[in-house]
A and B are shown apart, each in its own frame.
Chain A
Amino acid sequence: MEQNSRKAWLYLLPSLVLLGVFLIYPLLDVLVYSVEEGYNFASQTYQGVGAYNYSYVLHDPYFLQAVENTFVLVILTVPTSTVLALLISTALSSIRPLRQLFQTIYFLPYVTNTLAVGLVFMVLFQRTEYTDGLVNLMLSWFGAGPIDFINGPHWAKMFVLCFYTVWVVLPFKILVLTSALASVNDTYYQAARVDGTSRARIFFRITLPMISPMIVYLVITGFIGAFKAYSDAVALFGTDLNAAGMNTIVGYVYDMLYGDSGGYPSYASAAAILLFAIVLTITCINLLVTRRRVSD
């Protein structure tokens, strides 16, 4: 028994060491960083303990801009992508021929490099001195016109970011919803048909409640994912997001840590903890709301 126990710990050792050093210690350490005032990265000294870092971050216009951008992104993309995924997977599960092909195609964005494909989106939306770009060409067919989505007005940039984000997160949602729809037992639909239930009523009264746990799961992971948005924005607008006015909270954290304005792990820690607090709050609210809805 004793020997067995030692063996087990030996098997666990590599994981425990790695997790301890790179996950648990940093988790505690980030709290320490966030309250150390005037931390100097070179000499690794600090002057005092307090909430100054938080106060600095909360008064930093770049941070406020990042928070605003992130919230707009979350509010626009989470409902859009969930509803779109629901529409697509419902349509997908009601057809037979070509279903596999469509499923494969829809999943492609999941396996592609966000940074690389982001460049393609930039090219599609960008307006340069040589050309207005493809999207503007299409807009001109409808008499609208030319807008620089990459270096132009803030709303246009936000639109591209949201569009790209939806494009990137849809594969996962479609996949999850399609398998959720497939798991609904066929006899429920047969029973409903015998009872003369209309298509819309079947969808809202049977299908939707049956897959609602999966929708809740998608909304929550969607919120968390969207709050952590960063690389999509980098892909579209380059690494200097502050200058483009398109920074996100995560982007702010990394910029504080490293890069042109970097070298402030204390500020980064404070911002990261604020982000974590926001995500946790929203998740809890989400859970409370859906719990009540489901138990009704």
Chain B
Amino acid sequence: MNITLENLTKRFPARGRKAQGETVAVKDLSFEIPDGMLVGLLGPSGCGKSTTLNMICGLEAPSEGKIFFGEEEVTHLPPELRGVGMVFQNYALYPHMTVLQNILFPLENLKGEERPSRSEMRERALETARLVQIEELLDRRPKELSGGQQQRVAIARALVKMPRVLLLDEPLSNLDARLRLQTREEICKIQKKTGIPTLFVTHDQEEAMSISDRIVVMKEGVLMQQGRPQEVYDNPANLFVAKFLGTPPINVLEGEVSGGMLRLDGQPVLPVPGAEEGPVYVGIRPEGFRPDADGPMACGLNRVEVLGRETSMVCTHPACQADTLRAILRSEEEAEAQSGQVRFSLRPEKVFLFRRSSEERIRFDCPARAGA
């Protein structure tokens, strides 16, 4: 069953007594959570991710637009009739109940025919607990659990009523770095096992890239781009998406296209057939530099960081927006530095051009780029 959002808009009245007008938290947002997939909703804080989540689970009503669960429109359905499971950022486990009581709680809310018998409820709770591997913790209270364990209890509580969609709000933000890695794999595994379409909200692009089947990037309430993580990374639709994805971040330079050549600081560095002429922003991924003694791009070398598997070179270039740019080379590639200078040639599939005014992508013919 697919979850579909159609042209969702959410406006809030402006805060404060004297403030006029309203703020738009989400604007004309459409995307889909395909059945069985894990979708990462990604964006900087304040971009409307949480509002979107709240609209899907029914805690907030959209100002415009529609939400479908499969064929059924749920836009104005209250949360309890939607069948959503939600894991809150701080988990919201009831501190006075044991783990088992917490997991049973949603089942006990069911009424009429839907309400399972006492023993069925227990059976389902135990089954869910097994799924997230917390069977031995059932009699504890939340405050006796570690962060990772609390997280699993929260997931179990969301899953126990067999929701049609699972929503996770910044599920990893309260965990330390090591647990985060482990837990995100765990989430991925549980999601695959249950097959429930899942949306998870995060501001951490690495997190989203690593486990999502699809990612949706938002900025200031507007959808920027959606697609498979690699696809979005390889083909950012605009400068924002290019800058937001990837660690270390993409290098942004100011350049110009003239005569079919991309020029940086006046020097031609890359042929860009088919690109329109004029001033552009140039995004070059750190892995887009190839050391080349005769390469067209000359940079000042600040320092070299050896990281084992790869080598990171911190360089300067007059066209660069930031103070330095960073090139990542495989350690078998060797760059020759002469009198504080290195020369690179560029991999065209790692270079993106953007219009100065709208920051939209400018395409050019690049045989190495598949499907561009």
Contacts and interface: CB of A to CB of B under 8 A. Distances in A.
A194 B84 contact: yes
Given A187-B88, A190-B88, A195 B109 contact: yes
A209 B97 CA distance: 9
Q: Which 8 A-B pairs have the closest CB atoms?
A: A196-B80, A195-B106, A191-B92, A187-B92, A209-B96, A194-B86, A194-B79, A187-B88
Interface in B50-97: 57-59, 78-81, 84-86, 88-90, 92, 94-97
A210 B90 contact: no
Given A194-B85, A210-B94, A210-B96, 11 more contacts: A185-B90, A187-B89, A187-B90, A190-B86, A194-B59, A194-B86, A195-B106, A197-B80, A197-B109, A198-B109, A210-B95
A192 B157 CA distance: 11
Nearest to A209: B96
A206 to B, nearest CB: 6
Interface string A235-265: 0000000000000000000000000000000
A205 interface: yes
Contact of A196 (B88, B92, B94, B106): B106
Contact of B80 (A188, A194, A206): A194
A192 B59 CA distance: 11
A201 B110 CA distance: 12
A291 interface: no
B56 to A, nearest CB: 11
Interface residues of B, number: 25
B161 interface: yes
B362 to A, nearest CB: 44
Contacts of B95: 210
B85 to A, nearest CB: 8
Interface of B: 57-59, 78-81, 84-86, 88-90, 92, 94-97, 105-106, 108-110, 157, 161
Nearest to A191: B92
A204 to B, nearest CB: 12
Contact of B88 (A191, A197, A209, A210): A191
7 contacts: A192-B105, A194-B57, A201-B109, A205-B105, A209-B94, A209-B96, A212-B96
Question: Main SS of the interface on chain A?
Answer: helix
Interface string A201-218: 100011001101000000
Contact of A188 (B58, B79, B94, B109): B94
Question: Main SS of the interface on chain B?
Answer: loop
Contacts of B109: 195-198, 201
B58 A194 contact: yes
A154 interface: no
Contacts of A187: 88-90, 92
A193 interface: yes
Contacts of B59: 190, 193-194
Contact of A195 (B80, B89, B97): B80
A208 B94 CA distance: 12
A209 B102 CA distance: 14
B90 A196 contact: no
A193 B85 CA distance: 11
Most buried by B among A193, A194, A195: A194
Nearest to A187: B92
A193 to B, nearest CB: 5
Nearest to A195: B106
Contacts of B79: 193-194, 196
Contacts of B81: 196
Interface string A131-157: 000000000000000000000000000
Most buried by B among A191, A193, A212: A191
Contacts of A190: 59, 86, 88, 92
A193 B80 contact: yes
Nearest to A196: B80
A187 B50 CA distance: 13
Nearest to B154: A191
A262 to B, nearest CB: 51
B96 A196 contact: no
Contact of B105 (A195, A210, A212): A195
Contacts of B89: 187
B102 to A, nearest CB: 10
Nearest to B101: A205
Most buried by B among A195, A206, A212: A195
Contacts of A195: 80, 105-106, 109, 157, 161
